[in-house]
Homo-oligomer: A and B are copies of this chain.
Amino acid sequence: AHCTPRGSLRYLLRLVCFLTLLGVTAALFIFIVDLSVHGLEKLRNLISSVTGGALGYVLYVLTGVTLCLLSTFWCAVLSKEAEGSGLPQMKSILSGFYDRMKKSLELRVLFAKSLGLVCAIGGGLPVGWEGPNVHISCIIAHQFYRIHFFRDLCTDRALRLQTLAAACAVGLASSFGAPLGGVLYSIETIASFYLVQAFWKGILSALSGAIVYELLYTTPLVEAFEGTSFDPSDVSRTQILLYAALGASMGALGALFIRCVRSIYELRMKHYPGSSRYILVGGVAFLAAAVQYPFRLFALDPRAAINDLFKAVPLHMTDHFGWAELILLPLAKFVLVALSIGLPLPAGVFVPSFLIGAGFGRLYGELMRIIFGDVIIPGSYAVVGAAAFTAGVTRAISCAVIIFEVTGQIRHLVPVLISVLLAVIVGNAFNRSLYETLVLMKH
């Protein structure tokens, strides 16, 4: 009696209801998480600025360290499944290990993941939110299965797989407002085989999420990605070789980044095998906060920094960057992010990679501008660099699609695709993707 035949109108209605509801709920949840992070950041700045001076510095570091410790505390108390990105676990579940991995879709993991994420980013760690958002969306989908009307969607294995894949797409789409890129990125990072039937389901769900995202982010409560405004002539075909060189270098740099994350983890395991999670997290949080107070640029929301780097205007007309900042930011972030990724708390990798790539790309663009003159628009190199470095780290070509949706421009299609492709190929020559490396590290 529970089983409605496929292809019937009732079946379709149920599926459409589920996917839309999932998209809307997940996007709302993710927005609230984002809002809380923003609130915490404001509060920290307020506390430290009230006193100012040395005491302000101490308070800033203290609040940062406390929040990060709280983040790993939630994971230790509620569920260790909430640690890390979440994408690798979802990959295992969608590869057929649902029964064994089901415990990472429980309600308390949702609390651990969202509270941990809010505290970690609010506490100043430069970690991303897209991987945790994917995990959060999958848990929400899994909780929806309990509703009687939707029970079929869980008992039917093929449908469960497709709806969970749609949930992954929603998580990504709602992190960037990129429905298409979200679906494609989730396919590339989570599936090895893809059932083409699942495509429209993912798009429907991701689109519902992205519409909610658009509505929410037009009210400027938190930072959002801004569209770029390159002139068609700004992204020129004659510079293809320069873009390609940037893409290849970003691929190599991405591979180096993965190597660093792995080395840090191995060193830790070798020299301090039994070290407490609180010492690890506290140390990195202390470092981050100590650097961020004197250099406020490092504490800037990554979206604001990326928007600034993507601007078509010259460097001295950007809001936050001069030469010194442009050189320091990607280098410092590279180190800090590599230190933070392996920590036992919720931590995504896409957004920080995006920022590091945008920084290196803009730097490369500014250097090229010195050599070749005003024909070079460094902002377009920041766009290409962001996509290429992220592709070098995640080995997903759909980083290109996400960047088209984030920037709202598709004019830089050819340079972005070329550099992303080169980054993936060059990166693959050195090692595996970060997600696979993280899985290997922990087993």
- Chain A residues close to B by CB (< 8 Å): 9, 12, 16, 179-180, 184, 187-188, 191-197, 199-200, 203-204, 207, 210-211, 214, 227, 232, 237, 397, 400-401, 404-405, 408-411, 413-414, 417-418, 421, 424-425, 429
Complex CA–CA separation, A409 to B397 (angstroms): 20
Given contacts A193-B194, A193-B195, could you give 14 more A-B pairs where the C-beta distance is less than 8 Å? A12-B425, A16-B425, A180-B413, A180-B417, A188-B199, A191-B196, A194-B194, A200-B397, A203-B417, A203-B421, A204-B421, A207-B418, A227-B411, A405-B410
Among the listed B12, B192, B425, which residue makes an inter-chain contact with A196, where contact means beta carbons less than 8 Å apart?
B192
Which residue among A193, A196, A411 has the maximum number of chain B CB atoms within 10 Å of its CB? A196
How far, in Å, is A17 (CB) from chain B's closest CB?
13
Stoichiometry (number of copies): 2
How far, in Å, is A422 (CB) from chain B's closest CB?
10
Complex CA–CA separation, A418 to B414 (angstroms): 26
Among the listed B187, B199, B207, which residue makes an inter-chain contact with A417, where contact means beta carbons less than 8 Å apart?
B207
How far, in Å, is A229 (CB) from chain B's closest CB?
10
Which residue among A194, A227, A404 has the maximum number of chain B CB atoms within 10 Å of its CB? A194
Please name the residue on chain B nearest to A202 by beta carbon: B397
Contact in complex: B397, A199 (CB < 8 Å): yes
How far, in Å, is A90 (CB) from chain B's closest CB?
15
Contact in complex: A195, B192 (CB < 8 Å): yes
Majority SS at the chain A contact face: helix
How far, in Å, is A214 (CB) from chain B's closest CB?
7
Contact in complex: A413, B421 (CB < 8 Å): no
Complex CA–CA separation, A282 to B401 (angstroms): 46
Complex CA–CA separation, A203 to B191 (angstroms): 18
Among the listed B187, B214, B411, which residue makes an inter-chain contact with A408, where contact means beta carbons less than 8 Å apart?
B411
Complex CA–CA separation, A195 to B9 (angstroms): 31
How far, in Å, is A289 (CB) from chain B's closest CB?
38
Contact in complex: B210, A414 (CB < 8 Å): yes
Which residues of chain B have C-beta atoms less than 8 A from A411's C-beta?
A: 227, 408
How far, in Å, is A201 (CB) from chain B's closest CB?
10
How far, in Å, is A292 (CB) from chain B's closest CB?
34
Q: Could you list some 23 contacts between A and B, CB below 8 A?
A: A12-B429, A179-B413, A180-B417, A187-B196, A188-B196, A191-B196, A192-B195, A193-B193, A193-B194, A194-B196, A200-B397, A200-B421, A200-B425, A203-B397, A204-B421, A207-B417, A214-B237, A227-B232, A227-B411, A404-B404, A404-B410, A408-B411, A409-B410
